[in-house]
């Protein structure tokens, strides 16, 4: 809620950060729909990186010249047999909420399409729609029974468009500033949607006792995820652990970010000396 100590600009920036986090993770969420639910540990990003390393060692000559390499389309599509219903529900709910938010914002702050009087025949004039104004790329277009409007561009564009309104980005006279009450709603929807996406991806804040011991010393491993932050694993042994990573402030060996790939590989093969492909 906007208060005397929380300025509209601060609320808008907070909403924009959450909206950016949603679109940055949107491709991962769509990919998760077609994968069985990931175990609580390791985080999905570690598995994905290991899969990439394995694929790199495959025979690249077998890839057809027309193969599509890169990120999947950022538009939610029909999934006749989704493998992860939680991810699908999160994507559907998030897409619906952001589309509805964009519609609400457009109704409140977007100027109507300009019309100009033009002569049609001697002594007669008619109001004609300004075609350039109607097709302005910055304009949000509502859906209709025969036209999806701006929804055709998917959640990614809806998030970018809502970010612009939250930050009051200038676009001529096309938009008015967002009213304070509506700005609070934008921030609330953005935060709720971000939490839903991160929860579906297993990236919300949680602590998990791993079912495998440290490959270097046999100590208990504890995994931690932090919403919007970096995942980590710590070993309970302390400085006596010989794992080739730095110790945290308590003296426990700790793996962060890309270091988790080596740990995960060592856990999988039971190796005492991790190797980096």
Residue 133: the pLDDT is: 87
Q: Could you give the strand order of the β-sheet that contains 220-225, starting from the edge strand earlier in sequence?
A: 206-213, 220-225, 232-235, 254-256
86 and 143 housed in the same domain: yes
With beta carbons less than 8 A apart as the criterion, state whether 54 and 265 touch.
no
**For the chain, how many structural domains are there in total?**
2
Residue 163: the pLDDT is: 97
225 and 101 housed in the same domain: no
107 and 187 housed in the same domain: yes
Residue 229: the pLDDT is: 63
In a domain, 53, yes or no: no
Which of 200, 234, 252 delimits the end of a domain?
A: 200
30 and 154 housed in the same domain: yes
84 and 164 housed in the same domain: yes
Strand partners for 126: 118
111 and 143 housed in the same domain: yes
235 and 147 housed in the same domain: no
17 and 114 housed in the same domain: yes
In a domain, 72, yes or no: no
CB atoms within 10 A of CB 174: 14
Residue 258: the pLDDT is: 83
CB atoms within 10 A of CB 193: 24
Which of 200, 219, 236 delimits the end of a domain?
A: 200
Domain containing 25: what range? Answer: 8-34+79-120+133-200
Cα angle: 101, vertex 103, 109; to 5 degrees: 95
In a domain, 258, yes or no: yes
In a domain, 46, yes or no: no
Pick from 103, 98, 105, 100: nearest CA to 182: 105
Per-residue pLDDT of the chain (277 residues; tens, 9 = 90+): 655 557 999 999 999 999 999 999 999 999 889 888 755 555 554 444 444 444 444 443 443 333 332 334 456 666 666 788 899 999 999 999 999 999 999 999 999 998 876 777 776 767 676 778 888 999 999 999 999 999 999 999 999 999 999 999 999 999 999 999 999 999 999 999 999 999 898 877 778 888 889 999 999 999 887 765 677 899 999 889 999 999 998 899 999 888 988 898 888 875 444 333 3
Residue 2: the pLDDT is: 59
195 and 243 housed in the same domain: no
In a domain, 58, yes or no: no
88 and 220 housed in the same domain: no
What are 249's two structure tokens?
């402030």
In a domain, 94, yes or no: yes
With beta carbons less than 8 A apart as the criterion, state whether 43 and 260 touch.
yes
In a domain, 40, yes or no: no
Pick from 251, 275, 252: nearest CA to 264: 275
Which of 200, 228, 247 delimits the end of a domain?
A: 200
- Which residue is it, tokens 């304009």? 139
28 and 141 housed in the same domain: yes
21 and 155 housed in the same domain: yes
Rounded Cα gap, residues 93 and 227, in angstroms: 19
């Amino acid at each position: 809620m906007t208060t005397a100590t929380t300025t509209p600009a601060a609320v808008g920036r907070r909403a924009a950060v959450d909206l950016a986090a949603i679109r940055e993770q949107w491709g991962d969420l769509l990919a998760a729909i077609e994968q069985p639910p990931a175990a609580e540990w390791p985080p999905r990003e570690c598995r994905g990186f290991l899969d990439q390393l394995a694929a790199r060692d495959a025979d690249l000559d077998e890839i057809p010249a027309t193969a599509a390499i890169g990120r999947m389309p950022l538009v939610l599509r029909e999934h006749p047999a989704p493998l992860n219903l939680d991810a699908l529900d999160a994507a559907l709910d998030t897409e619906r909420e952001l589309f509805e938010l964009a519609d609400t914002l457009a109704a409140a702050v977007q100027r109507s399409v300009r019309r100009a009087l033009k002569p049609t025949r001697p002594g007669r004039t008619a109001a004609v729609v300004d075609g350039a104004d109607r097709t302005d790329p910055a304009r949000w277009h509502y859906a209709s029974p025969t036209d999806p409007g701006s929804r055709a561009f998917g959640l990614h564009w809806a998030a970018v468009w809502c970010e612009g309104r939250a930050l009051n980005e200038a676009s001529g006279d096309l938009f008015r500033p967002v009213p304070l009450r509506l700005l609070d709603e934008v921030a609330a929807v953005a935060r709720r949607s971000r939490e839903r996406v991160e929860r579906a991806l297993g990236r919300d804040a949680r602590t998990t006792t791993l079912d495998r011991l440290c490959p270097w010393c046999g100590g208990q491993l504890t995994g931690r995820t932090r919403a919007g932050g970096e995942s980590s694993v710590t070993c309970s042994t302390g400085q006596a652990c010989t794992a080739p990573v730095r110790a945290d402030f308590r003296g426990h060996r700790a793996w962060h970010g890309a270091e988790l790939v080596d740990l995960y590989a060592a856990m999988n093969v039971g190796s005492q000396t991790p190797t980096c492909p």
